[in-house]
Structure 1
Amino acid sequence: MASPVTETPAAPSDKALDHFKARLGFEADCWDTHEAMATGNHDFILLDVRPPDCYEAAHVPGAINLPHRKIIQRKMAEFPANTLFVVYCEGPHCNGANKAAIRLAELGLPVKEMIGGMTGWADEGFDFANGPEPGHVRQK
């Protein structure tokens, strides 16, 4: 009898390879984002897409606050053409980053989601600007 894991067979290796390679085109993790920001080697704009009060309470250092509902053509025209935007929100339980990514993609702009958001950042033990100690995310 198959376990719940193996009752659906794994995809063939070539399909798995395509799938996992493609995911990297849509996602950046907290560790890579932190490394890029810490070394000054960030060739992207990090957008905190949460409401301003959440941003003011704590945010990833170097992030710009732009709530997903305010991502419009006029606002995005302020950034250089072909800018890569990396978006995040509270964490895996929040779909704000997904909504922001949709809006950016609809505008024809390059976008990735920082998976984990504030929760992932805290889990890695990274510091917040204006915020709690590492490992603690402000509750709404």
Structure 2
Amino acid sequence: MTLDLPTPAPTPAEHQGAVAFFTARLSYQTDVADVRAALAGDRPGFVLVDSRGGAAWRQGRIPGALHLPTDEIPGRAPHLLDPAMPLVTYCWGPGCNGATRAALTLSRLGYRVREMIGGIEYWIREGFPVETATGTTAAAPDPLTAPCGC
């Protein structure tokens, strides 16, 4: 069976470029399930950075996350973050590039950063806990997103 797609898959000669591309994506990104699994352990090995603004933070956040809005990173990061500790940024979700912008800003400051794809939207959709001023809650997982099993 041949797939007739507008852009063909890489040729054998282009294969190494594809390997490099996908390796880089996995080096610079992580997903909500992997972050959740790491946070469930005693030492996740990273600081989780919520790059959203104050109103979004107050609506709900991932327990244990550090609130550091993107526009405050240059002035606050050197006082809050250990340059030796890797970071994972998140923002709202796939329709938002805030986590990407935060990761870029932090990378330019010399931090080792990964972006959590899916953001808090997919964190919530997978039924993971969300913290607010009134406590921690978790919604039922969205059957379209969880369990992924990948």
In structure 2, the residue matched to 1:69 is 71
Instruction: Give the Å deviation of 1:132.
Output: 5.9
Pairing 1:33–2:35 present: yes
Q: C-alpha root-mean-square deviation of aligned residues, in Å?
A: 2.0
Hey, what's the Cα distance between the residues in 2 that align with 1:100 and 1:114? 11
Alignment partners' CA distance in 1, 2:101 and 2:21: 22
Question: Matched residue of 2:131: which SS?
Answer: coil
**How much has 1:2 moved relative to structure 2?**
6.2
Give the TM-score, by structure 1 length.
Answer: 0.85
Residue 58 of structure 1 is aligned with which of 57, 60, 71?
A: 60
State percent identity of aligned pairs: 35
Work out whether 1:45 is the aligned partner of 2:50.
no
- How has the CA–CA distance of structure 1 residues 115 and 2 changed in structure 2, closer, same or farther, with 3 Å as cutoff? closer
Task: Give unmatched runs, 5+ long, in structure 1.
Answer: none
1:103 equivalent to 2:105? Answer: yes
Q: Secondary structure at the match of 1:59?
A: coil
Q: Does 1:9 align with 2:5?
A: no
SS in 1 for 2:116: strand
Distance 1:2 1:34, change over 3 A: closer
Residue 8 of structure 1 aligns to which amino acid in structure 2?
Answer: T
Q: What CA distance in whole angstroms lies between the structure 2 residues aligned with 1:125 and 1:97? A: 21
Unaligned runs of 5+ in 2: 142-150
Q: Taking structure 2 as the reference length, what is the TM-score of the superposition?
A: 0.80
Q: Cα deviation per residue 1:81-101 (whole Å; 9 max; x = unaligned)?
A: 222111000100111111111
Count of residue pairs the alignment pairs up: 133
For 1:35, what is the secondary structure of its paired residue?
helix
Tell me which residue corresponds to 2:21. Answer: 19
Question: 2-side partners of 1:93 and 1:38: how far apart?
Answer: 27
Distance 1:120 1:75, change over 3 A: same
Cα deviation code 1:59-82 (max 9, x no counterpart)? 11110111000001x422222222
Q: CA deviation at 1:135?
A: 5.3
Structure 1 residue runs of 4 or more that deviate by more than 3 Å after TM superposition: none
Distance 1:2 1:31, change over 3 A: closer
